[in-house]
Chains A and B, each alone.
Chain A
Amino acid sequence: MDYVVAILLPQLLHGLVFGAALGLLALGLTVIFGLLGVMNFAHGELYMLGAYAGIAVVGVTHSFWAALVVAPLAVGAIGAVTEVATLRPLYRREPLYGLILTFGLALVFREGVRQIWGGDMRRILPPFTGSTPLLGMTYPNYRLFLLVASSLLLLAIWLFFTKTRAGVLVRAAVQDAEMLDGLGVNVPRVFTLTFAGSAALAALAGLLLAPIFTVYPQMGVEMILLAFIVVILGGMGSMGGSVVAAVVIGLAQSLLTLWMNPQRVAIAIFAIMIVVLIVRPRGFFGREGVLE
């Protein structure tokens, strides 16, 4: 019983917290892939920009909550400009062009941040401290907030895609953009707004995780690999799949640490991905034709 309360339960909770935040990051990535057919290599840098924009806003307003609103909006605007100025001219070309472009954008964003803020690690203080007694253990309040906030956001995004006209339009664009264009919808605008929304989501994840993981220019590079695994595991372009896969990866990473050297956990995560892809080549919820 001691083992369950002292070790297993906290570990489960760590996994859930991380999985939910990872889900936010991966969701934007998978929507962009579904929509544009491009793996956005700069997605990790948008996550990083969110944290740095948060530092800038906190510096001026001294409010984490203001940063939580302003930073995603600012990064969303950067995303919109980036889409119109750089990605849009490449839509009719091979996906490889988009891949190379986003790879270049990632370098530009990362080095740009290094020029402005320098390479030193920075901290964003959580808006509240303290911990809560929970199931016989104490758990930091901010991590509990992160779990609740991420879960609510994921629920809101699901409602957006299923219950609103705008959400249905994005899903329709993911399914068949040409048909949607034929029906008189301004598809380029859908693309721009979706890209901006995905950037804002990444920024939100970056800012929410910043008080735990701290802020530095490389932070996006490290998260994006996990986000890619999540997207592949969930099924390329599948939103529900990404959320499920994010929680699976979060839990697997956390629980496996109990029984094996944490350095081998990274290898185990890849092993999980390989096994899933052998059994289900399109991931958990991947649909036909996305990769073919």
Chain B
Amino acid sequence: MKRVTWGFTVLVAVAALVWISAPAVSQPKVVKIGDLGSKVGVFEGYGKYQTMGVQMAVEELNAKGGVLGHKIEIVSEDDETKPAPAVRKAEKLILQDDVKLLVGAVSSGATLAVMDVTKKHKTIHWNSVSCAEFMRTTKFHKYYFSNQPDSRMQANGLAKYIVDKMGKKVYIFYTDYAMGQSDGRQFKTALEKLGGEVVGVAGAPLDTKDFSPWFGAINQSNPDVLFVAFAGTDSLRLMTQLHSFGMTKKYKMAGIDCFLLQQDLPSIAEPMEGFVQLNHFSPYNPDPNMQAYNARFKKKFGTDANIAAGSYDAVLFWAAAVEKAKSFDPDKVSEAHEGMCVDNTHIGRQCIRKDDHQVVMDMHLYQVKGGKNLPIARIAGSDSIGEAMVGKDPVEGFTWEIKKK
């Protein structure tokens, strides 16, 4: 009897093993990638479009057989726009889900915090939305890559236009955390270097409800141009309130690339009329590559693409690097990225600079007309990227002090 029981047990165990292993043999291998971004809060619009970009790239890659024979799966996480949850979710994505690529985060503060995690766990990390300057300088590590024009690139491309075409006296109003402070530092330095006069600077906390307490100081310094470095819901509120105080008509307005998404513009067209910014994408740019990308995006999601399109390119770059390295090993994939060019990004051919892993991006100056971001001039990527400054502060000795003329 005992022998029969043992025999039966072994038979069941073998059958179970065959059953468990059978599907694994017939199914394709899978590689996971992480999409970390704001799903709620002040930047949730950017997080939403980042996810869409990643989805579109993965769908296209999977249709061609995936990457290195692996089907790509996305694991999306919400970073709540804050550094602490971003770190927690990044660790979860890397340690639990075993993602081979992490795209994110959205807020610069969160991305800076996540960089420590991707460095520690040697994970390829692409940033396509955050624009603080520290990521490719003081915080840089070998697994980090970016195709978001950071503060320095934006200042290099836009400050000259402001001084030459808009006015010499500029007031800088910024959101008071990593992103806004970085923009403030870079633009103040660039404007003063070009002969502009920064007549005042002020920072307002992230997610400020009422900006009117700052308006008195802006009016008193009487600028030609009001430069604003805000994003998301902050931008929408700020413009609404500036407009109600008549200040959008009183001053020429300029700002950073992620100030508002194209989707937000029609509802705030009047206050935004004439607003100038430097950007890498607009659905209203006649560039054939942008139009082709936008058409595919619109067909899939029923809405225009926007500057979060960088997340699409990030996945393409990573997949190309994995294929080149013939491995998912992070050191090999990182090396394969360096100097690599990809032809079919959302703006055509783009290349990664080896020294600081920044994509050299051709951009345009845009001006809002009737709720649409229309191109007014092209700025070559080589003119805006600036020299690689890994480990250094690009504006060393910077001071917020106003230089009286």
Contact = CB atoms under 8 A, between A and B. Distances in A.
A222 interface: yes
Interface string A105-149: 000000000000001111100100101000000111011000000
A91 interface: no
Interface in A233-292: 254, 257-258, 261-263
A187 B212 CA distance: 45
A10 B217 contact: no
A123 B233 CA distance: 10
- Bin chain A's interface residue count: 20 to 34
Contact of B217 (A7, A18, A140, A263): A7
B8 interface: no
B236 A123 contact: yes
A78 to B, nearest CB: 23
Interface string B208-237: 111011111101100000000000110011
Interface string A15-54: 0001000000000000000000000000000000000000
Contact of A214 (B39, B233, B245, B246): B233
B236 A121 contact: yes
Contacts of A90: none
Contacts of A119: 39-40, 44, 48
Nearest to B268: A123
A82 interface: no
B288 interface: no
B292 interface: no
Nearest to B237: A214
A6 interface: yes
Interface residues of B, number: 34
Given A7-B216, A123-B268, A213 B245 contact: no
B240 interface: yes
Contacts, number: 75
Given A6-B219, A120-B44, A131 B246 contact: yes
B112 to A, nearest CB: 19
B246 A218 contact: no
Contacts of B209: 213, 222
A211 B245 CA distance: 13
Nearest to A223: B209
Contacts of A213: 209-210, 237
Given A6-B219, A257-B213, 20 more contacts: A7-B220, A10-B212, A10-B215, A14-B212, A119-B40, A119-B48, A121-B233, A123-B236, A123-B268, A126-B244, A131-B245, A138-B245, A140-B244, A143-B212, A143-B244, A214-B236, A218-B41, A257-B214, A261-B203, A263-B176
Q: Kindly list the 3 A-B residue pairs having the minimum CB-CB distance in the complex, ordered from nearest.
A: A140-B244, A257-B213, A7-B216
30 contacts: A6-B216, A7-B216, A7-B217, A7-B220, A10-B212, A10-B215, A11-B213, A14-B212, A119-B39, A121-B232, A121-B264, A123-B236, A123-B267, A126-B244, A129-B244, A131-B244, A131-B245, A138-B245, A140-B245, A142-B244, A211-B240, A213-B209, A213-B210, A214-B237, A217-B40, A218-B40, A218-B41, A257-B213, A258-B213, A263-B205
